[in-house]
Amino acid sequence: MSADVTLEDVRKDARAEEPEEQIDLAAVDKIIDSLTEMKGMLIPVLQNVQNVYGYVPEEAANSVADGLGLYRSQVYGVLTFYTQFHLSPRGRHIIRACSGTACHVRGGKTVISKLESKLGIGHGETTDDMFASFEKVACLGACGLAPVIMIDIDAHGQLDSLKAERILDNLREMDRMKRGE
Amino acid sequence: MMVRLTIDGNQIMVDGHLNVLDAARKLGIYIPTFCHQARLSDLGACRMCLVEVEGMGKLQTACTLAVNEGMVIYTDTPRVQKARSLMLEFLLINHPLECTVCDASGECTLQDLAFKFGSAETRFTGEKRVLRDHIISPLIDRNLNRCIQCKRCVRVCDEIQGVTALGMSYRGAATVVGPFMDKPLDCEYCSHCIWSCPVGAITSRAMKHKMRTWEMEKAEAICPYCSCGCTLLYNHRDNVVYRVTHADGRGGNMGSLCSKGYFGYDVINHPDRITAPMVRDADGTLRKTSWENALAVVALKMGQISKESGGKAVGGIASDRLTNEELFLFQKLMRVVFSSNNVDTPSGRWSRTVVPILEERLGVSAATNSLDELNYTDALLIVGCDITVANPISGLKIKHAIRQGGLVTEVNPGKTALSRLARRSLSVPIGKELTLVKGLIKVIFEEGLYDSEVVGGYGRLSDLEFSVKDKDFKSIARDTNCSEEDIIHTAREFAGAKKASIIFGEIAALQSGGGQIINALIDLLMLTGKLGQEGCGLYPIIAGTNFQGAVDMGASPDRLPGHVQVSSASERKRFETAFSGKIPKEKGMSAYEMMQAAAGGKLKALYLAGVNPMVTFPGGEDVEKALKKMEFLVVQELFLTETAQLADVVLPAGTMAERNGTLTNVERRVQRTRKAIGGVGQSMPDWRIFSELGVACGDEGMKYLNSAEVLDEIAETIPFYSGISHRILAENGLQWPFSKEDAREAYHEGYLGSRHLLADGVSKDNRSFAAVSDWKTHGADSKYPLTLVLGDLLFHSGSFTRYSESLNQLASEATLFMNPQTGMGLDVQDGSVVRAVSAQGEISVAVNYSEDIAPGVLFMPRHFENAPVSALMVSGPDGEAQTAVVHVQVVKA
């Protein structure tokens, strides 16, 4: 066999993609201990883990699998199946823009492209400074306010690209003040 | 319950547990499938097996539809045909049509079904979904775009292999198959996923773009790498083996293979193979020569030494990878032509320790039951054996039993791949296994878990009871590092189970004093009545491929073919008549004794067939000195190994793919292996070399046209092989013993031989307990306080697979595995180089921290030249070298 790729190469490629941060897993162990009494607790455990870290780090997913007696690939299947789980760190603010029918016909598309160009990221991505993550969602259930976006837990309706820009500027200002910059 | 149903107008009565797909296949009605695979759960994912059922509106998936009384089913109506065609059209929307470069082309189910049922045109003009992909392993290639999400690889990885390295992630149209976090594949490389993929989504990188599937022929052979004796298919063309494929449903393995069987074939056409005989010149270099010349030199020199110094000065050691025919001829050659009983295999230590005990206690030196019975065991005790490494496919059978609710208790100095699944995994320190087994016997006595009417008549019952009296459970638990509950529950489960068996391996048997453990285990089986029935028995597991065959064929210094003693005058007479030659009456030397005799100058000529003492024999430098001292050394090999480089004559032998013959696996199953390719260069199969050498020595009795003729001679001289022939073994293997009549029946009726032995229980003479009085076997001393286990890795077999580049990708270097706790006690770090020192010698090796090893125990693989573990193997109190468990101290380098 001509060994064009070695196991070492494959592992090295995988390592290159990883952040080198060390993560304290004490919280994960505590969550597992408090929730393993019942069978079928994988999703609540993962939700709690995500509440602590803001996402589900790989090491935490490992610990969850080992702690619940599941295979890692099974945990990964659940993590990727549900959009509520995130495998990489997310921004301090989550911006969700509606791309449902009502918002679309009332100009949601321009709102979305404004937000994307202003943030410099696309769907499912996070800005480099961890300021915000951006997501397009199917419907926010507020069609009367179309076009609508949500920033964290607040809804902002009846937008156009100008209003969206202003909201984003305000958000950044607030973020700066909060971080004392 | 049987139910009656009608499929396409044919009535059939079937078992009510079946599904419609099985029922239709029983009738010979073909229903296409992607996601269905024998031995896997059914899912109904691919929608190819849709059938029309009267009274049910929608089409139903045949694979998940249970049969029902009076069901009327149509499998080929226009509605069904249209559904199939539409399903295929859907699949082909995204499936890339790159059959021109796809390795699965020619054996791709999607290709076949699209050809048969699909539409010639596609109505979709959009772009195909293209997923970003990357290489997940050097040996297993994944192509996400070709995947049709049938989930067969995921299920096989979970349900058969029990590894669950693969999973489905994301959902809907974005669903992909892959390992955790899409990381590099970290698994056993068992190849089941490659086998199960119906398209080219998971393929072997080892043969990527090497040869089209339809251009190769297949030969059914037996895997050369362990004593499971798995059936596999060598795919070959133009004298080159390009790959191995799974022989679906064939052999005891039902087609399953492990990493060695599937990827280890690249030794066959390795560029370093020896292609011509070589003889050492007057100036000391090995030079290529003709077969006539090489054989003449061997015949002359060996004959001369045998004549001048007597047969005792000549010896031969053959690998237990050789076929039965080859081992039979080898011992015949040594005994009759060179007048020497110095015949052995490298597994001699097992022959000297385990074989006599089994013969004495059970009357037969082999596993009492078949491996298939492990599939349905209720309680299994595994002592000193990582079965998933020694015998990976037997390991799968145990995993199957666990899924059926079988209670497995493992007694090993650490964790194995079974630990996660087993009922309990007891980390008993080496040397204390005996304490545990006696603890189990104690429970049986105290709770009266034996049938006193049966066992009451056995000899030494009171001695056995007395032998377990002088220790209480508390101290047994403390000594064995287990809890009292563990011991009590293990004993209760074992005694209470309908089908209960014991497996033991090298760590138990080959530690010094290991014989006592085996005796105690047999006592436990006899006491609880777990011998002589289906599902109840003893499995001694040694990894040597044809070790059982070597014992049967008399490749042993003290036994002739058929397990009979050399010292028996009548048996010797019988073989002398059959072989028309003289057989010396004193027993010969074991492999280890031969090396010592060589060092002392008493052994002058040595014939080595497929063995590499320089790497694998105990003694390290002593072995080299002994071999160099040899007046005449013949090495019959595939490669110019460390040992072959010292030889006076090197004879090029053939691999498993280059010969016909039979092998006997660990469950006494005699199976046929078939030649796939002719010899590489001028190499010849071992049996032909032995035969031609015999003829060159002037013995016409050594002349054979083919290996079938040798098997005929085996069938005539070994009673429990009588009636066997290549023709009779054509379809199935046969488990000995069988008579001529049985064998004939095999040919006609699919008879499989003796599935289990001792049908009438242990014979009258053997109904007695050993009642071992010691509580522990020989342990470590203060100078060498650590116990080092020398064993195999899953990815290698002896020193032979070092020539497989594929397997070297998975493991190519020895490290010293130790628990971090042990490491910290010794003040050595993970990765640091240390010296391991035994009473015999020392080697330096890097430390590898592993939580899987019990504290106080070390493990080192014995395959690799970077740490030649043979240097550590001490001569034990019984005069044999310790090849599996040695005591060492670890010093910082």
Q: What is the CATH number of the domain that holds A132?
A: 3.40.30.10
> Which domain range does residue B305 map to?
278-350+546-737
Please check whether residue A122 lies inside any domain of the structure: yes
Question: Alpha carbon B680 to chain centroid distance?
Answer: 26
A23-52 as b/e, with b when 16 or more CB fall inside 10 Å?
Answer: eebeebeebbeebeeeeebbeebbebbbeb
C-alpha B197/C-alpha B209 separation (Å) is 17
Where does a domain end: A55, A81, A107?
Answer: A81
B731 and B845 inside one domain: no
A119 and A147 inside one domain: yes
Please check whether residue B838 lies inside any domain of the structure: yes
Residues of B in contact with A3 (CB under 8 A): 138, 805, 809
Name the amino acid, one letter, at B883: T
Is A34 a residue whose pLDDT tops 50? yes
Extended strands (E) in B404-447 = 407-411, 424-426
B382 and B520 inside one domain: yes
Residues of A in contact with B207 (CB under 8 A): 1
Name the amino acid, one letter, at B710: V
C-alpha A149/C-alpha A135 separation (Å) is 10
**Residue B882's pLDDT band (boundaries 50, 70, 90)?**
confident
**Residue A2's pLDDT band (boundaries 50, 70, 90)?**
very low
Where does a domain end: A24, A48, A81?
Answer: A81
CATH number at residue B884: 2.40.40.20
Closest Cβ–Cβ partner in A3, A13, A72 for B805: A3
Please check whether residue B708 lies inside any domain of the structure: yes
This model of the complex carries an ipTM of: 0.84
C-alpha B716/C-alpha B318 separation (Å) is 23
A66 and A107 inside one domain: no
Surface-to-core class of residue B503, CB atoms within 10 Å of its CB (0-12 exposed, 13-18 middle, 19+ buried): buried
Q: Which of residues 141-200 of B touch A (CB under 8 A)?
A: 154, 158, 164-171, 179-181, 183-184
**Structure token pair of residue B841:** 């010698």
B602 and B689 inside one domain: yes
> Which domain range does residue A76 map to?
7-81
Minimum distance, in Å, between the CA of residue B643 and any CA atom of chain A: 26
DSSP string, B176-196: EEESGGGPPP-S----HHHHH
Surface-to-core class of residue B82, CB atoms within 10 Å of its CB (0-12 exposed, 13-18 middle, 19+ buried): middle
**Looking only at Cα atoms, what is the longest distance across chain A?**
64
Please check whether residue A130 lies inside any domain of the structure: yes
| Per-residue pLDDT at B193 | 96
pLDDT exceeding 70 applies to what percent of chain B? 99
A101 and A76 inside one domain: no
B833 and B705 inside one domain: no
Please check whether residue B765 lies inside any domain of the structure: no
Among residues B591, B793, B583, B754, the alpha carbon closest in space to that of B664 is found at: B754
What is the chain B residue with the closest CA to A72? B180
**Residue B877's pLDDT band (boundaries 50, 70, 90)?**
low
Q: Which of B372-376, B595-599, B755-759, B768-772 has the lowest mean pLDDT?
A: B755-759
pLDDT digits (tens, 9 = 90+) for B227-271: 999 999 999 999 999 999 999 999 999 999 999 999 999 999 999
Minimum distance, in Å, between the CA of residue B184 and any CA atom of chain A: 6
Where does a domain end: B718, B737, B756?
Answer: B737
Q: Which of residues 804-833 of B touch A (CB under 8 A)?
A: 805-806, 809-810
Residues of B in contact with A81 (CB under 8 A): 169-171
Q: What mean pLDDT, rounded, does chain B reach?
A: 93
pLDDT digits (tens, 9 = 90+) for B783-833: 889 999 999 999 999 888 999 999 999 999 999 999 999 999 999 999 999
Where does a domain end: B505, B538, B571?
Answer: B538
A19 and A57 inside one domain: yes
A14 and A76 inside one domain: yes
Question: What is the number of structural domains in chain A?
Answer: 2
Please check whether residue B478 lies inside any domain of the structure: yes
Please check whether residue A72 lies inside any domain of the structure: yes
Q: Is the peptide bond before A89 cis (omega within 30 degrees of 0)?
A: no
A37 and A99 inside one domain: no
**Structure token pair of residue B130:** 């293209």
C-alpha B318/C-alpha B215 separation (Å) is 36
Closest Cβ–Cβ partner in B164, B168, B266 for A71: B164
Average pLDDT, integer, range A147-176: 93
Residues B138, A3: C-beta atoms closer than 8 Å: yes
Please check whether residue A113 lies inside any domain of the structure: yes
Please check whether residue B216 lies inside any domain of the structure: no
pLDDT digits (tens, 9 = 90+) for B513-545: 899 999 999 999 999 999 988 999 999 999 999
Three-class SS state of B741: helix
Average pLDDT, integer, range A127-146: 92
Residues of B in contact with A46 (CB under 8 A): none
Residues of B in contact with A87 (CB under 8 A): 181
Residues of A in contact with B183 (CB under 8 A): 14
| Per-residue pLDDT at B660 | 95
B839 and B726 inside one domain: no
Please check whether residue B406 lies inside any domain of the structure: yes
Residue B854 DSSP symbol: P
**Residue B320's pLDDT band (boundaries 50, 70, 90)?**
very high
Is B742 a residue whose pLDDT tops 80? no
Residues B171, A73: C-beta atoms closer than 8 Å: no
Minimum distance, in Å, between the CA of residue A13 and any CA atom of chain B: 9
A162 and A131 inside one domain: yes
B38 and B70 inside one domain: yes
Please check whether residue A146 lies inside any domain of the structure: yes
Residues A3, B158: C-beta atoms closer than 8 Å: no
A vs B, Cβ pairs < 8 A, gives 65
A172 and A140 inside one domain: yes
Please check whether residue B462 lies inside any domain of the structure: yes
β-bridge pairing A93-98 and A132-137:
parallel
**Residue A5's pLDDT band (boundaries 50, 70, 90)?**
confident
Please check whether residue B231 lies inside any domain of the structure: no
CATH number at residue A70: 1.10.10
Average pLDDT, integer, range B366-371: 94
A23 and A73 inside one domain: yes
Closest Cβ–Cβ partner in A1, A11, A73 for B180: A73
B559 and B594 inside one domain: yes
A150 and A172 inside one domain: yes
Residues A73, B134: C-beta atoms closer than 8 Å: no
B575 and B699 inside one domain: yes
Residues of B in contact with A61 (CB under 8 A): 180-181
pLDDT digits (tens, 9 = 90+) for A74-91: 999 999 999 889 998 999
B847 and B794 inside one domain: yes
| Per-residue pLDDT at A1 | 41
Is B668 a residue whose pLDDT tops 90? yes
Q: Which residues of A touch B (CB under 8 A)?
A: 1, 3, 5-7, 9-11, 13-14, 58, 61, 71-77, 79-81, 87
A101 and A129 inside one domain: yes
Average pLDDT, integer, range B87-108: 93
Please check whether residue A100 lies inside any domain of the structure: yes
Please check whether residue A88 lies inside any domain of the structure: no
What is the tally of helices (H) and strands (E) in chain A?
A: 8, 5
B346 and B286 inside one domain: yes
Extended strands (E) in B473-520 = 500-504
A13 and A52 inside one domain: yes
Residues of A in contact with B158 (CB under 8 A): 71
pLDDT digits (tens, 9 = 90+) for B397-411: 999 999 999 999 999
CATH number at residue B72: 3.10.20.740
Sign of CA dihedral B230, B234, B235, B241: positive
Question: What is the number of structural domains in chain B?
Answer: 4
B206 touches A at CB < 8 Å: yes
